[in-house]
Structures are given as structure tokens and as C-alpha cells.
Amino acid sequence: SRLSISDPIRTNDIMRKYKLRAKKSLGQNFLTNEKVLDDIVDASGLQSDEIAIEIGPGIGALTEKLAQVAEQVYAFEIDETLIPILEDTLSYYDNIEVFNEDILKVDLDEFVKEHSLEGKTIKVVANLPYYITTPIMLNLINSDYPFQSLVLMMQKEVAERVTADPGHREYGSLTIAVQTKMTARIDRIVSAKSFIPRPKVDSAVAVLDRIPSDKYDIEDPEYFHKLIRSSFAHKRKNLMNNLLNWQGRTDENRSKIKIVFDKCNIAENARGEQVSIEQFKQLSVELKKVM
């Protein structure tokens, strides 16, 4: 039987055959730990009637695993030199389509329509290129199409921010941007040794599942996001001082904000990290009324 693409022997063979050198600038670190790949696929819970979207298939290690469980796999790879390699390594599968595109330029809502996928359960599963983890993740979360779940390998440090609870150092604007739309947990930590070449940092598999769209039903998302950005703009300042920086440091503003804090059950000297999403939601409504 054939070795999996992720087997280090096979990965090295493929790289040698195609004289392939991983491009650092594109975040190319190929997974060569089959257990990690199986854990990623398990975490996705992909079923045979579901669609998988993969970002950055590389030489196909994760792609082939997805094809073994999903109805159909669509993969977006920016590096054109990998396209003929993927045609070779994935030739055995007839339920994979690879597109030579920059995922940040793909309109996924359009893509879903063009491929008549409305109504399908679509899950995004990817070992992300780390240099663009945040924009990719935020695009997926804020797309019109409600991707059911995202199983994303990313830097451990980013995964910790994404999954943080209030009261923790890692809790901040990224946490809130993600957790207003998705539940977030870390499925597992992945050592740098699981990749060829090894990245500089350890990684983690984050699992984000869509929450009902009315859970945090934010009235004015633009104002809410402005509030969140301002609340965490200066890490060392408390919430009051960050808000005064945003609204103007006057006595009048200070007392208005103090009254709003009381309404929202937020202590005057609270730090942004201590404020729950529910409280930020209320804060944005009350603040908008008086400021």
C-alpha cells in the first residue's frame, strides 16, 4: 500500500522528485506527522455528505485525508509551482478540486453560489500560512456564508488569543472578534518537529464552531468594533483611560463613562481583559446613547 503523503519518507521523496524547496515567504511548512493530521480531521467531524474547503494544500498531506472523509474538497493554493505536484500526489482521488488562487482574493460567498453549495454543511480545514492567519480567519468568520466550523492550525500564541477567556492576559480584540461569532477551543498543541521545514514556534489546532447568529446580535457592528479596538489600543492603560483616549479626555466624558460603567457592572478601574463579550455589547449600546 502507498505511504501517506505526510509520511516523512514520502514527503522527502516528493520534494526531491520536484526539486521543491519550501518557500518561507509563503509560510510553507509541510506537516509530516500523520497522527496530527488524523486529529485535525477528527476535530472537524467531517461527514461523507459535507464539503471541505482547504487553504494552502501544499503537497497535499491534509487534502488527501479530507478527501477520504468528505463528499468534496476544494483547495486554494497560491503557489503555482505546487499545482502540477498536487495533480500528481492527489491523482488517486476524484473528489478534489485545486484552485491556483490567493485565498485573500477569493470571494467565498461568490464561490459557494457558483458551485451551488448553499444549504450544504461546509467546513474549512487548514494548516494555515502563518503570516496571514488573522486576515484569513476574520474573512472566514465574517463572510456571509455561515461556515459551520473552522479547524485551523496556527501559531500556538495566536490560538491562545483566539480561545482566551476574560481575565486572561491573552484576551483581547482578536478574542472578541472571533468569539462573537464562534465558540473557540484548542484541540491540541503541535510541536514544531511535526513539520518539514520546522517553523520557529509551536503550533496549535484551534476549533471554531458557529454559534447561533442571534447570541450576541450586535446592533451596530461598526461601533462595536471601534469600541473593542479602542478598549485594547493601549495594553497598559485600563479601560476608562483607553475610552478617554478615544472620546477625549474631559471631566464630562469621564463622568458619563463612569455612569455607563455602573450600568454595565464594570468597575471604574477595570481593564479591558476583565470585561466579558456580553458586557462589551451592553457597553457599546449604553456608550453610544450618551457620548
Sole binder of ligand SAM in the list 14, 20, 30, 163 (CB under 6 A): 30
Could you tell me the CA-to-CA distances from 57 to 62, 128, 206, 215 in Å, in that order? 7, 9, 18, 34
Considering only the C-alpha atoms of the chain, give the largest distance between any 2 of them, rounded to a whole number of Å.
75
Q: In Å, what is the CA distance from 237 to each residue of 119, 224, 232, 273?
A: 45, 19, 8, 11
Determine, following the binding rule CB under 6 A, whether residue 28 of this chain makes contact with ligand SAM.
yes
Q: Is 78 in the site for ligand SAM (CB under 6 A)?
A: yes
Stretch that binds ligand SAM, among 99-107, 239-247, 263-271, 280-288 (CB under 6 A): 99-107
> Is residue 62 part of the contact set for ligand SAM (CB under 6 A)?
yes
Please list every residue from 119 through 178 that binds ligand SAM, using CB under 6 A: 127, 129, 132
Residues 185-214 touching ligand SAM, rule: CB under 6 A, are none
According to CB under 6 A, which one of 46, 55, 66, 174 is a site residue for ligand SAM?
A: 55
Rounded to a whole number of angstroms, the distance between the first and last alpha carbons of the chain is: 68
User: To 10 degrees, the CA torsion angle through 19, 98, 37, 195?
Assistant: 30
CB atoms within 10 A of CB 261: 22
CA distances from 268 to 62, 265, 288 (A): 49, 9, 18
SS percent in the chain: helix, strand, coil, step 5: 45, 15, 40
Answer yes or no whether residue 272 interacts with ligand SAM by CB under 6 A: no
Q: By CB under 6 A, how many residues form the interface with ligand SAM? A: 22
Residue 97 labeled ligand binder: no
Q: Is 95 annotated as a binding residue?
A: no
Least distance from ligand SAM to the Cβ atom of residue 211, Å: 27
The verdict on whether residue 167 carries a ligand-binding annotation is no
Which residues are CB-neighbours of 180 under 8 A, at least 6 positions away? 216, 218, 277
- Binder of ligand SAM out of 20, 70, 85, 103 (CB under 6 A): 103
Taking CB under 6 A as the criterion, the residue among 74, 76, 171, 224 binding ligand SAM is 76
Chain residue whose CB lies nearest ligand SAM = 56
- Given a contact cutoff of 8 angstroms between Cβ atoms, the answer to whether 154 and 204 are in contact is yes
31 binds ligand SAM (CB under 6 A): yes
Name the strand (E) or helix (H) holding 98: strand 96-99
Q: Does 27 bind ligand SAM (CB under 6 A)?
A: yes
CA distance 100 to 112: 17
Residue 269 counted as an annotated binding residue: no
Contact between 58 and ligand SAM per CB under 6 A = yes
Helix (H, G, I), strand (E, B) or coil at 4: coil
For ligand SAM, which residue of 52, 53, 61, 159 counts as binding (CB under 6 A)? 61
**127 known member of a binding site:** yes
User: Least distance to ligand SAM from the beta carbon of 156, Å?
Assistant: 14
Q: 30 has which bridge partners? A: 196
- Residues that constitute the known binding site for S-adenosyl-L-methionine: 29, 31, 56, 77, 102, 127
Q: Which residues bind ligand SAM (CB under 6 A)?
A: 26-31, 55-58, 61-62, 76-79, 102-104, 127, 129, 132
